Chains A and B, each alone.
Chain A
Amino acid sequence: MELPTGPGHRSSPMRPQSEDTVFDSLQFGEDIQHLISVPPENASSFTALLELPPNQAVELLHSPDSTLRTRTVIETHHQKPYLQPQFNAANLAFPTNSGLIERAARLSVFAGENLNNISNNSLETSSGPSNSSANLEKVVKSEPAEAESDLNPSQPLVSDPTTVENGAQNQRPVKRKEREKKGKSSTKKSKSSGNDNSEDAEKLPYVHVRARRGQATDSHSLAERARREKINARMKLLQELVPGCNKISGTALVLDEIINHVQSLQRQVEFLSMRLAAVNPRIDFNLDSTLAAEGGSLMDSNFPSMVMPLTWPEVQVNGNRQNYQQQWHFDAVNQPVWGREEDSYNFITPENSLLSYDSSANSDHGRLEDKGLEIFDVMVKGNNGIQAEIEHYGCVVDLLRSAGRVEEGFEFYQKDAF
């Protein structure tokens, strides 16, 4: 993948990951721009700032092979000596996931276009990409000159602060928060610029955790804070799902509402199934065994929902007799539900199809045509508003014929048909 050389490309010795370094130098310039522009204040949740839905954001967070790296943020104004590296080009990390690289490259192109448009109002100066290196040098000089205690021992210390690239293949995702030792931001601008960096994250696959003013910066606090942010994002999503939960503030009450809603939904399912059971034509079936048998085969093939009976006849009928019985039963369950709201013509279709399936699908009918007769009887006698049409009779006769009981079919026809 050919990446354009970034504005802040350094001439320092490059690591073997050449394209990564080039790529990262491009991002690095944007970093500075984003730092020194004014970002939104209320970056309460960096996951919310991400354009991704929380699921993907969490996926990004939990990228297993540490494809996510965080980047340290330039602390422009802070004078406090750090125990952890505040900003160091050495700590810039690279996405190793090719998908992430592509995405970031694609997005960083757009971000790069904004480099010239961002108006900067910070102490550090201009916004041109050509000045990024100058900014970088100024910023880095304000940093304490002490070598950072590298948390990642595999990561080499960088002597040249302008070195963008670094062999920083941080293989431990938990370290990414330790990279971000922001410390207390002495000015609002630094804090807001840090938040802007989290907004930067929506363009690039980095997840930033910025320490706000007055908050601890050790690794545990950061991890906890990231976790809290995740949980809050999920809670917000749930709040939107549950009707009437938007006004409630406070996690406990929202949880109460969620629990009530889930309980009410389950009770609704129970109540509706009871209603179905009450008006169902009295067909008894053995569900438990059929479900157990069906579960194994269907789960593998990711069977579509069985609640849709109109698609049932199109369902592939395997020659398995057991499965066929199940289909019959389930359609019998679903029949009255659909039959009532459609006219009789539409209602005929599943019944006809099933009757025809009955005759064609199995060579050894055994008791199946008896079962078909039984179903027909129930259908006729049942009080669910179904009238026996000529198609039904035809199907029954055909069923009996294929079973070898032609005489019986003839009698049936003579007896009942009009």
Chain B
Amino acid sequence: MRRASTLGPPSDEEIRTRTRRIRIVSYSSMAFAVGSSRAWSRALVLKIRNRARFRGILRNKCLASKKKRVIKRHKVSREMSKTDMLRRLVPGGAGMGICGLLEETAHYMTCLATQVHEIDLE
């Protein structure tokens, strides 16, 4: 456990680390509040837990959309479609179909809005 550093104007690095931590706290509290009833909360909890243990190993987890019904096209790299972006945004979105993704997005959005409201109390 680190001791509190001496007083002085907080450096940028400290602010950055603190920001990261506060953000992790808020996300984890949101996920814990929801519990394990939603897929995104479960994915979020797992992500935070794994991140705490293996920092950086899981950072570059490549995201692959679950359903690839597209026929092989000429260009190898296809542009990120909207659903892919949504999958990237919502935790745990990679392993769901469109239907489940939309539902999780709705719930995730409401919880995020509540979170913002809670944090922003000043």
Whether the Cβ atoms of A291 and B52 lie closer than 8 Å is: yes
Whether the Cβ atoms of A306 and B3 lie closer than 8 Å is: no
Set of chain B residues within 8 Å of A54, measured between Cβ atoms: 103
Whether the Cβ atoms of A234 and B23 lie closer than 8 Å is: no
Instruction: Closest B residue to A332 by CB, please name it.
Output: B4
Stretch of A17-25, A150-158, A250-258, A349-357 on the interface side: A250-258
Whether the Cβ atoms of A265 and B116 lie closer than 8 Å is: yes
Give Cα distance in the complex from A299 to B29, angstroms: 10
Set of chain B residues within 8 Å of A216, measured between Cβ atoms: none
Whether the Cβ atoms of A269 and B109 lie closer than 8 Å is: no
Whether the Cβ atoms of A262 and B105 lie closer than 8 Å is: yes
Give Cα distance in the complex from A302 to B52, angstroms: 20
Whether the Cβ atoms of B32 and A287 lie closer than 8 Å is: no
Whether the Cβ atoms of B3 and A265 lie closer than 8 Å is: no
Give Cα distance in the complex from A235 to B49, angstroms: 32
Q: Pick the residue among B7, B10, B119 that contacts A273 (CB under 8 A).
A: B119
Whether the Cβ atoms of A278 and B15 lie closer than 8 Å is: yes
Whether the Cβ atoms of B119 and A272 lie closer than 8 Å is: yes
A282 touching B5 in the complex, CB below 8 Å, given contacts A231-B102, A270-B23, A292-B52: yes
The A-contacting residues of B in range 6-42, CB under 8 angstroms, are: 7, 10, 14-15, 18-19, 21-30, 32-33, 35-36
Stretch of A172-180, A237-245, A395-403 on the interface side: A237-245
A262 touching B120 in the complex, CB below 8 Å, given contacts A273-B19, A273-B22, A273-B23: no
Set of chain B residues within 8 Å of A340, measured between Cβ atoms: 122
Set of chain A residues within 8 Å of B14, measured between Cβ atoms: 282
The B-contacting residues of A in range 72-99, CB under 8 angstroms, are: none
Give the Cβ gap from B94 to chain A, nearest Cβ, in Å: 15
Set of chain A residues within 8 Å of B72, measured between Cβ atoms: none
Whether the Cβ atoms of A284 and B23 lie closer than 8 Å is: no
- Asked if A374 is an interface residue, CB under 8 A from chain B, the answer is yes
Whether the Cβ atoms of B110 and A303 lie closer than 8 Å is: no
Whether the Cβ atoms of A286 and B109 lie closer than 8 Å is: no
- Asked if B58 is an interface residue, CB under 8 A from chain A, the answer is no
Set of chain B residues within 8 Å of A230, measured between Cβ atoms: 99
The A-contacting residues of B in range 33-67, CB under 8 angstroms, are: 33, 35-36, 45, 48-49, 51-53, 55
Set of chain B residues within 8 Å of A282, measured between Cβ atoms: 4-5, 7, 10, 14
Give the Cβ gap from B97 to chain A, nearest Cβ, in Å: 9
Set of chain B residues within 8 Å of A270, measured between Cβ atoms: 19, 23
Whether the Cβ atoms of A277 and B15 lie closer than 8 Å is: yes
The B-contacting residues of A in range 199-217, CB under 8 angstroms, are: none
Set of chain B residues within 8 Å of A330, measured between Cβ atoms: 25
Give Cα distance in the complex from A287 to B122, angstroms: 24
The B-contacting residues of A in range 276-323, CB under 8 angstroms, are: 276-278, 280, 282-289, 291-292, 295-296, 298-299, 302-308
Q: Pick the residue among B10, B83, B112 that contacts A265 (CB under 8 A).
A: B112
Whether the Cβ atoms of A381 and B7 lie closer than 8 Å is: yes
Give the Cβ gap from B33 to chain A, nearest Cβ, in Å: 4
Instruction: Closest A residue to B85 by CB, please name it.
Output: A259
A259 touching B82 in the complex, CB below 8 Å, given contacts A241-B109, A337-B121: yes
Q: Pick the residue among B25, B102, B108, B109 that contacts A287 (CB under 8 A).
A: B25
Whether the Cβ atoms of A337 and B99 lie closer than 8 Å is: no
Set of chain B residues within 8 Å of A291, measured between Cβ atoms: 24-25, 28, 48-49, 52
- Asked if A5 is an interface residue, CB under 8 A from chain B, the answer is no
The B-contacting residues of A in range 29-69, CB under 8 angstroms, are: 54-55, 58
| Chain B residues near A (Cβ < 8 Å) | 1-5, 7, 10, 14-15, 18-19, 21-30, 32-33, 35-36, 45, 48-49, 51-53, 55, 82-83, 85-86, 89-90, 98-99, 102-103, 105-106, 108-110, 112-113, 115-116, 118-122
Question: Could you write out 29 A-B pairs with CB less than 8 Å apart?
Answer: A234-B106, A235-B102, A238-B106, A241-B110, A262-B90, A262-B108, A265-B113, A265-B116, A266-B112, A269-B115, A273-B19, A276-B18, A277-B18, A280-B18, A282-B7, A286-B1, A286-B2, A287-B21, A288-B24, A289-B52, A292-B49, A292-B53, A299-B35, A306-B25, A306-B29, A307-B118, A307-B119, A330-B25, A341-B121
